[in-house]
C-alpha cells in the first residue's frame, strides 16, 4: 500500500496582481511534503508560480496603489461592504475544511486533530473579528447637539 495525500496534486498557474488572477507562463516551484511514501520517495503536493523579484515588486506596487495611503477602495469601503466580503470569504472557505486540514497534515506534518483545531480556530477568529468590527462601527456612530444643531458623528 502506498501512502499518498487524499488531495490531488494542486497545480497553481495563476498569481494575484492588481486585484486580478493573472496566468503564469514562467517557471514553477514544486511543493513537496517532508514525509515520504512507503518506498522512501518524496511526495509531491503541488506547484506554484516561481515569481521573479520583478513580479514581486509589481505585486508590492499594486498593493501600495490599492491601499493608497488609506484612501483605496478597501480602506474606504463602507463597513457593510467589508463585512459582507469577509463573510463571503468564510462562506467559501468553510467547505474547503477537509482539503485544508489534509494539506496542513502533509505540508507541515500536523496531526489531524491539531490541523482541524487550527482551521476551526481560524474560522472562529474571523467571526469574532467581524463581530468586534460591527461593535466598533456601532459604537463609532452617535448623535450630538452642537449649538442647537443635531449632528451624527460616525467613523468612516
For the chain, give the number of residues.
Answer: 156
What's the rounded mean pLDDT across residues 76-81? Answer: 92
Q: What is the pLDDT of residues 27-53, one digit of tens each?
A: 999 999 999 988 999 999 999 999 999
Q: Taking all residues of the chain, what is their mean pLDDT, rounded to a whole number?
A: 90
Residue owning grid cell 469577509: 86
* For residue 7, pLDDT beyond 70: no
Amino acid at each position: 500500500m502506498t501512502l499518498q495525500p487524499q488531495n490531488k496534486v494542486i497545480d497553481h498557474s495563476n498569481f494575484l496582481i492588481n486585484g486580478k488572477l493573472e496566468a503564469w507562463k514562467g517557471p514553477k516551484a514544486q511543493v513537496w511534503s517532508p514525509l515520504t511514501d512507503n518506498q522512501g520517495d518524496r511526495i509531491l503536493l503541488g506547484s506554484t508560480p516561481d515569481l521573479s523579484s520583478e513580479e514581486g515588486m509589481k505585486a508590492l506596487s499594486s498593493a501600495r496603489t490599492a491601499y493608497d495611503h488609506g484612501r483605496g477602495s478597501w480602506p474606504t469601503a463602507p463597513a457593510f461592504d467589508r463585512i459582507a466580503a469577509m463573510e463571503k470569504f468564510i462562506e467559501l472557505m468553510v467547505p474547503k475544511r477537509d482539503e485544508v486540514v489534509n494539506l496542513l497534515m502533509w505540508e507541515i506534518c500536523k496531526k489531524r486533530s491539531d490541523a482541524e483545531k487550527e482551521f476551526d480556530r481560524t474560522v472562529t477568529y474571523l467571526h469574532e473579528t467581524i463581530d468586534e468590527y460591527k461593535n466598533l462601527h456601532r459604537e463609532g456612530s452617535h448623535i450630538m447637539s452642537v449649538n442647537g444643531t443635531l449632528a451624527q458623528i460616525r467613523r468612516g
